[in-house]
Chain A
């Protein structure tokens, strides 16, 4: 029974979900970096992992409106699961271990989502922060398993699919992480443009009205929180696999806070924000850390304060202007589509 209205809505949704030229350009650029910047693959790998992590936060912050101060909980959990699987030789194939780490983080996300659902923004801040602290403390106390404050030693990562060994210059690692990022990005894109993603937008805009039109608000939030946890877990597992090490640092509050900054620089709610933010953040971090190795958090803090005082919406305007300028060559007869809903 497809009434004209239904088919019109379906057609419009399908048009919204189409791949834009600038998106294709973005990924071609990423692919080109594999060949054009062979000397920078180590830092590019870091950027990709950070980008994937930020993408995960975007799913809950940009699409569900949940502010998290402890997203590093899932990142760290995935990192330790991957590390333990490799260190004890349980699952030696990296891709399989990556999937398992993602599943483990998803399970943790599913359980903790019920705590996050309760209460206001403030309660959520406390719960997310608390969950990350609990995990950090667990990793610290159970030193026989995790190595405690010394970090997890003896992680030996086997060749990818039994074919490609990880090399010292990080070429394999970069191609591997970029592929993982791309696959997960495509899945995230499908999720966001699916009915699930649409209902999440309505939940974010107004939970009460969303419930009134029959959206099961809590079930949707649990679902997206679990998915985002899986993404963060995979990002953490990637970090362990490419560095062959995991330490308590993966749970740190600074990691969660930096992540918020990454996402805010890039803009929330259009998936590319985290990736673009990761590039800008890493470049900025590199520059500042060279300038003042010990005190760079000061500048990170300053950037946060200035961004808020200037206003994120104004940032979004500039971003749109820059995007429009960059997209000039791709412009077709109608105006080029801008990243919708960027910022807030």
Chain B
């Protein structure tokens, strides 16, 4: 029972790291980026390549995954995404679906269509007992890393100058611009960091979520649920939504394996009927 809770929390934390970049870009630019999962996939594959082929230590590989994906994100943001911000949601959806299809086919071409695995170090494998609760070492690592990241993000958002600029831009980009905040720059940096976090999430999650070229399509619905249920105005909302989703999904698949996949959709529908604007959205939701 507690093991399931533990696994669920690990899963939820992972989802949060994967999706938080999306929620910030959505809140900031009102930009629907369905290609977010493609960045996560990129991070996962970078890790697979550097760990399995070049024998880079696992933790260094995580850092590399973050940096490489952030770089790809920044590059794409400056060259392609920037042209699409002002367009309608339909255009954004078409554009990002197009990117997803291209990413899926390209990865399929380069890496093959079968599922790949990261060789995680021996010290992270296996599980130990803690007061009768079976704890997997790898999942514990995920919780620690993601927990620290969440804390750091929260501190950056609430405590630093960049954080207050970011929050101002999210609340009202026009006024923020009028106050002399470089919203475009803030956004480019946020986009890169968000993509990097997705890449890190993809690298960490390759072991748990499974990594193959259809990853961005398979997890698109999870990201959308996290963002819509959690709202886009803070990171607490998506965090709670991720935990809810993670625990719900793991528990559902364990207790009612036949109907497990429906648990998350039920959560989605219930929340939607109860709070159409998301769990934590302010009344003036975008």
Contacts and interface: CB of A to CB of B under 8 A. Distances in A.
Interface in B33-91: 34, 80, 83-84, 87-91
Interface stretch (A10-18, A38-46, A126-134, A190-198): A126-134
Output the residue of A141, A261, A297, A309 with the most chain B CB within 10 A: A297
Nearest to A260: B94
Interface string A98-134: 0000000000000000010011111101110110011
A130 B220 CA distance: 10
A301 interface: yes
B276 A119 contact: yes
Contact of A302 (B102, B220, B221): B102
A130 B221 contact: yes
B285 A261 contact: no
A125 B94 contact: no
B109 A305 contact: no
Interface of B is mostly: helix
Interface stretch (B128-136, B145-153, B190-198, B256-264): B256-264
B118 interface: no
Given A133-B221, A133-B265, A122 B98 contact: no
Given A122-B224, A125-B224, A264 B94 contact: yes
Contact of A308 (B84, B269, B276): B84
A253 B214 CA distance: 11
B259 to A, nearest CB: 7
Interface in B148-182: none
A304 interface: yes
Contacts of B203: none
Contacts of A129: 220-221, 224
A297 B227 contact: no
Interface in B216-246: 217, 220-221, 224-225, 227-228
Given A67-B93, A121-B32, A297-B105, A309 B80 contact: yes
Contacts of B103: 301
A160 interface: no
Given A257-B97, A260-B97, A308-B87, A294 B224 contact: no
B137 interface: no
A302 B228 contact: no
B282 to A, nearest CB: 14
A69 interface: yes
Nearest to A302: B102
B87 to A, nearest CB: 7
B170 to A, nearest CB: 15
Nearest to B225: A126
Contacts of A253: 217, 220
A261 B26 contact: no
Contacts of B220: 129, 253
B98 A304 contact: yes
> Chain B contact residues (Cβ within 8 angstroms of A): what range?
35 or more
A139 to B, nearest CB: 12
A303 B98 contact: yes
A298 interface: yes
A118 to B, nearest CB: 4
Interface in A60-105: 61, 67, 69
B117 interface: no
A312 interface: yes
Contacts of A336: none
Given A134-B262, A307-B94, A122 B101 contact: no
In the A-B complex, the 3 residue pairs with the smallest Cβ-Cβ separation, listed nearest first, are A304-B98, A301-B101, A298-B105
Given A122-B32, A308-B92, 15 more contacts: A67-B89, A119-B272, A122-B26, A126-B224, A129-B221, A130-B221, A130-B225, A130-B268, A137-B261, A253-B220, A301-B99, A303-B98, A304-B94, A308-B84, A309-B95
26 contacts: A61-B90, A67-B90, A67-B93, A118-B272, A120-B286, A122-B227, A126-B228, A127-B272, A129-B224, A260-B93, A261-B94, A294-B109, A295-B105, A297-B102, A300-B98, A300-B101, A301-B100, A301-B101, A302-B102, A304-B97, A304-B98, A305-B95, A305-B98, A308-B84, A308-B95, A309-B95
Interface of B: 26, 32, 34, 80, 83-84, 87-95, 97-106, 108-109, 217, 220-221, 224-225, 227-228, 258-259, 261-262, 265, 268-269, 272-273, 276-277, 285-286
